[in-house]
Chain A
Amino acid sequence: MKETFYERIAESAWWETLPNGLRICVVPKPEHAKSYAFFATRYGGMDVRFRRDGAFADTPAGIAHYLEHKMFDTREGNALQELAKNGAEPNAFTSNALTGYYFDSTEHFEDNLKILLSFVSIPYFTEESVAKEQGIIGQEIRMIEDTPDWQVYTRLMHCLYRNSTGRISVAGSVESIREITAQTLYDCHRAFYTPSNMMLTVVGNVDPVHIVDLARSILPREGGPAVERDYGQEPMEIVQKETCEKMEVSMPQFLLGYKCAPAADGEEYLRAQIVGDLACELLLGESSPLYLRLYDQGLVNGSFGSTFEMMPGIAYLYAGGDSRDTAAVAAEIQKEADRMVREGIDPAYYERVRRSSFGETLRELNSFENIAVSLTEGYFHGYDAFRFPQVFDTVAMDDVAAFLRENLRPERAALSQILPQA
């Protein structure tokens, strides 16, 4: 087992790969009372089409999320109660490309970790228990359907993407989840929950060697074959310019999205993320001239925000929030992007934002969950997230300018709006 010290962020991490292919990372935090475990598989809402027994097969939208719900069932009952006895409240989430199970606890951490590793690696479903979950997930879907933030985002993705499975809602729909059976869940578990497709991250006051021994003793000896996935061939053209829906909201809400060039895995992926984040900050961040002007004019408020996201095969930048005049804000964003491309970025401004972004990224390391999720995403994309200061150093202002020039183009933009009912 190897310990790496990351001086610039004052963190250290112990890395190990088991013979079954499981990657393990332990980040010691001797001064904290709690310890946190995150056990994740590279399998999410966009992994609906993959090669099984030689041929590509489709699975219902929402299946990775459904599986996440059902993994807590065990032959003996339910892992939630097992962990509850020790005061740990486990939880899980499914994103587009990842499913993660986690808990934190101040007592009996290793006992809890054993429970986590076994319930995630040993599936137990019956037709009855799978059918029962339809009601619960059905209500989860109804809840998000009533959420304007979700509607405006999902509709934007449908404008930007034609084929990429990144456009599929992670929870699926009430209709699509009806097709899910115990057998499809077993098949997907067998394909994606193999140790070689997973990572365990522990952050806390623990002995790294113990953690590795424990994982070795509980998880299967064998890894599994890599799963070939089909995310769909995505052209750079968008599907449609605009979408609009009426909902029970107090004022108009919008997202303006730009379809961006995807990045390859490896450290280049992290670098692309940093460049995209800096572009967001410079163009749309809280100290950007555009934001300050729109705020002063009352066209945006504190709900305004922007982000750059990457998933396998796709990348996009979007900005939005509440506004009385969504179309005017969208036009102003495009105008400002054009201006920055035309006139270039002010070097003093760039330096300031760079400094602030660096501080912001360090701040995120206060959260054990952020540490674990970023290390895991890094591993799944072939880079070490703790090396961000070094990668940050390689980014120059010209990279950000080139990003804006290439991606912030009107023909790559789509506007999604939610309007109040009359």
Chain B
Amino acid sequence: MLRRFGKFLNKELKALEETRTKIADGVYLTYLPARKFKTSLLSAQFVTPLRADSASVYALLPAVLRRGTVRYPDMGSLSAELDRLYGAQIDYTVRKKAENQCVGFIASFLDDSLVPGGERLLEPVSDLLGELICAPVTRSGRFLPEYVEGERSNLVDAIRGILNDKRDYAELRLLQEMCAGEPYGISRFGDEKTAERVSIQKLHACYASLLSSARLELFYSGSAAPERVQEALLNALSALPRENVRDPEMCRRHTPRREVLNVTDRLDVSQGKLGMGFSCGSDDFSALLLGNTLFGGSSNSKLFLNVREKLSLCYYASSVYHRQKGMITVSSGIEFQNYQRACDEILAQLCAVQEGRLEDWELEGARSTLLNAYASMGDSQGKLENFYLGQAATGQEETPEELASQVRETSAERIFAAMRTVTPDTVYFLKGKEAQAE
């Protein structure tokens, strides 16, 4: 049973500060007070290592749990209860944070101040969340086979369905090839073959392991006092059997390739998708973050201004910095025959950042883009939850304010030096079938 920790005695908490408290064995509550939203957000996320043989099982689990609880044994009765709670929503989530997989539920419900008749929604929604986690509907102690089969088939469809959005597909394929053999190359849903073969036994084993030993991260954003939130959640999760709780997996950096890997796929498409992966030798986080923003991280970046605006080669060309892996990836959609021009131009723009060839406004522009993003994070409950989950799953403790001050203090020289350690690793190209290509 759940052993309770932590009492809110700290005076600061009375002033409704953001806090992260261990409230039970391996259970942390990130409390984010806010009165400015129409809704409250409540999230419960289990953090477990991303592994090829278990990723689809953990991806399947919240979908099966979402089908019904002891008290609300099917989606119809669950929906009716959520409707009654003024259109409260509880969605299951499956996310990848560095080399961890995070699975659980996010609930969103009207803030107390807006509920007609002053009904309180935090407690009933917490209870429902707790039931989805701890009290699934079962028959002879097993998940209902029809739920498992239905959701397994939905999961397989979702994995296959990544193909439908060619940009997502190309980005996934780049990561698979670049990080082959590393957990980071695994999709958040796992792979089709493993998903097809998940048995009820395996699902139960993973469920038991998740409940007892995976880190549980809870998040709340809304107007309720911290004591009330903690109480509601501890009550809702009182049946959680905790033992031997593991810490989240530490992420291993990408092993850079000596020679660039080139991969080409062919599909019946009218636009080509180019993906380029780079390894970063430096671990100067804020310098690489700024360097990536200059390179392709905003609509004022070198990739946008040159590959798109100057050469008209594409509609989108952008880059992402993967902090924990020490990687940068670029994604763009181009005409098939412009492959070489686009590759050359992307490399030329990387080189420009490495050599510090910037116009006056570019560095301050990149810096203020990032500062604006950090400063406005508190205006979105979804962004806050996603940010703090990422921090918790990777063992980071900085707040957005602290990251902003790191960004403020990073000199141009540090940025150029860090970007000079960025080297090409993998190039992926999705092109048309033979007949229509070139």
CA of A287 to CA of B114, assembled, Å: 23
List the A side residues contacting B380 at CB < 8 Å. Answer: 366
- Residues on the A chain within 8 Å of B76, using CB: 287, 289, 292
Report B-chain residues with C-beta under 8 Å of the C-beta of A247: 268
Let me know if A322 is at the binding interface, CB within 8 A. yes
Chain A residues 243 to 288 lying within 8 A of chain B, measured CB to CB, are: 247-251, 253, 286-287
Interface presence of A107 (CB below 8 A): yes
* Interface mask (B311-350 → A, CB under 8 Å = 1, otherwise 0): 1111110000000000000000111000000000000000
Tell me, yes or no, whether A134 is within 8 Å of chain B by CB: yes
Chain B CB within 10 Å — which of A142, A147, A249 has the most? Answer: A142
Say yes or no for A58: interface residue by CB 8 A criterion: no
Q: How far is A209 from B254 in the complex, measured between Cα atoms in Å?
A: 54
Number of interface residues, chain B, beta carbon within 8 A: 70
Contact B157–A133 (Cβ < 8 Å):
no
Q: How far is B365's CA from A366's CA once the two chains are assembled, in angstroms? A: 28
Interface residues in B359-416 by Cβ distance below 8 A to A read: 361, 364-365, 367-372, 375-376, 378-381
Interface string of B151-169 (1 = CB under 8 A from A): 0011001101111111100
Q: Is the CB of B267 within 8 A of A248?
A: yes
Docked-complex contact A85 and B361, CB < 8 angstroms: yes
Q: Which residues of B (68-95) have their CB < 8 Å from a CB of A?
A: 74-76, 79-80, 82-84, 86-88
Contact in complex: B268, A80 (CB < 8 Å): no
Q: How far is the CA of A9 from the CA of B164 in the complex (A)?
A: 39
Are A366's CB and B312's CB within 8 A? no
The verdict on B39 contacting chain A, using a C-beta distance below 8 Å, is yes
Partner of A363, one of B36, B108, B364, B368: B108
> Does A87 sit within 8 A of B, measured CB to CB?
yes
A322 cross-chain contacts in B, Cβ below 8 A = 157, 161
Interface flags, A320-361, vs B, CB<8A=1, else 0: 001000000000000000000000000000001101111110
A241: Cβ under 8 A from any B Cβ: no
CB distance from A72 to the nearest CB of B (A): 9
A84–B298 CA distance with the chains assembled, in angstroms: 9
Q: How far is the CA of A89 from the CA of B368 in the complex (A)?
A: 10
Q: How far is the CB of A139 from chain B (nearest CB, A)?
A: 4
Given contacts A136-B312, A287-B82, contact A85 B163 (CB under 8 A): no
B372 touches A355 (CB 8 A): no
Chain A residues with CB under 8 A of B271: 139, 142-143, 145-146
Q: How many angstroms between the C-alpha atoms of A228 and B313 in the bound complex?
A: 38
Q: Is the CB of B368 within 8 A of A87?
A: yes
Report the minimal beta-carbon distance from B361 to chain A, rounded to whole angstroms.
5
Residue pairs across A and B with CB atoms within 8 Å: the count is 186
Instruction: Give the contacts of B87-113 with A (CB-CB under 8 A).
Output: 87-88, 108-110, 113
Known: A10-B114, A80-B299, A359-B87. A301 touches B312 (CB 8 A): no
Q: Which residue of A lies closest to B91 (CB)?
A: A302
Contacts of B367 in A (CB 8 A): 87
Question: Interface stretch among A25-33, A48-56, A185-193, A395-403?
Answer: A25-33
Q: Is the interface of B mostly helix, strand, loop or mixed?
A: helix
- Give the interface centre of B79, B165, B269, B364 by most chain A CB atoms within 10 Å: B79
| Contact among B109, B311, B376 for A106, CB-based, below 8 A | B376
Q: Does A88 contact B (CB under 8 A)?
A: yes
Give Cα distance in the complex from A208 to B114, angstroms: 25
With beta carbons under 8 angstroms apart, the residue of B161, B361, B381 that contacts A84 is B361
Q: Residue A85 contacts which of B39, B267, B368 (CB distance < 8 angstroms)? A: B368
Of A250, A289, A298, the contact of B163 (CB 8 Å cutoff): A250
Within the complex, the shortest CB–CB distance from B310 to chain A, in Å, comes to 9
Taking A81-B365, A142-B333, A363-B108 as contacts, is the C-beta distance between A136 and B86 under 8 angstroms?
A: no
Question: Contact: B270 with A31, CB < 8 Å?
Answer: no
Interface positions of B from 200 to 220, Cβ below 8 Å from A = none
- Judged by a CB distance under 8 angstroms, whether A137 is at the interface is yes
Separation of A63 and B284 alpha carbons in the complex (Å): 46
Quick check: is A421 within 8 A (CB to CB) of the other chain?
Answer: yes
B114 to chain A, nearest CB (A): 6
C-alpha spacing A87/B364, complex, angstroms? 8
A227 in contact (CB, < 8 A): no
- Nearest to B37 among chain A residues (CB) is A366
A251 to B35, CA, bound (A): 44
Interface flags for A85-111 (1: CB within 8 Å of B; 0: not) read 111111100000000000011110000
Task: Report the bound CA distance from A303 to B79 in whole Å.
Answer: 17
Nearest chain B CB to A343 CB, angstrom units:
18
User: With A247-B268, A250-B160 given, is the CB distance from A357 to B87 under 8 Å?
Assistant: yes
Closest Cβ of chain A to B225, distance in Å, is: 18
Interchain residue pairs with CB less than 8 A apart (13): A10-B38, A32-B376, A89-B372, A104-B376, A107-B368, A133-B312, A136-B312, A148-B164, A292-B75, A301-B154, A356-B86, A358-B87, A359-B109
**9 A-B pairs with least C-beta separation:** A87-B368, A135-B312, A359-B87, A287-B79, A356-B87, A359-B86, A250-B160, A84-B300, A84-B365
B contact residues vs A (CB 8 Å cutoff): 34-39, 74-76, 79-80, 82-84, 86-88, 108-110, 113-114, 146, 150, 153-154, 157-158, 160-167, 267-271, 298-300, 308-309, 311-316, 333-335, 361, 364-365, 367-372, 375-376, 378-381
Q: A34-B376, A358-B87, A421-B268 are in contact. List 13 more A-B contacts (CB 8 A).
A: A78-B309, A84-B361, A87-B365, A90-B299, A135-B311, A136-B308, A142-B335, A248-B163, A248-B267, A287-B76, A298-B150, A301-B158, A366-B39
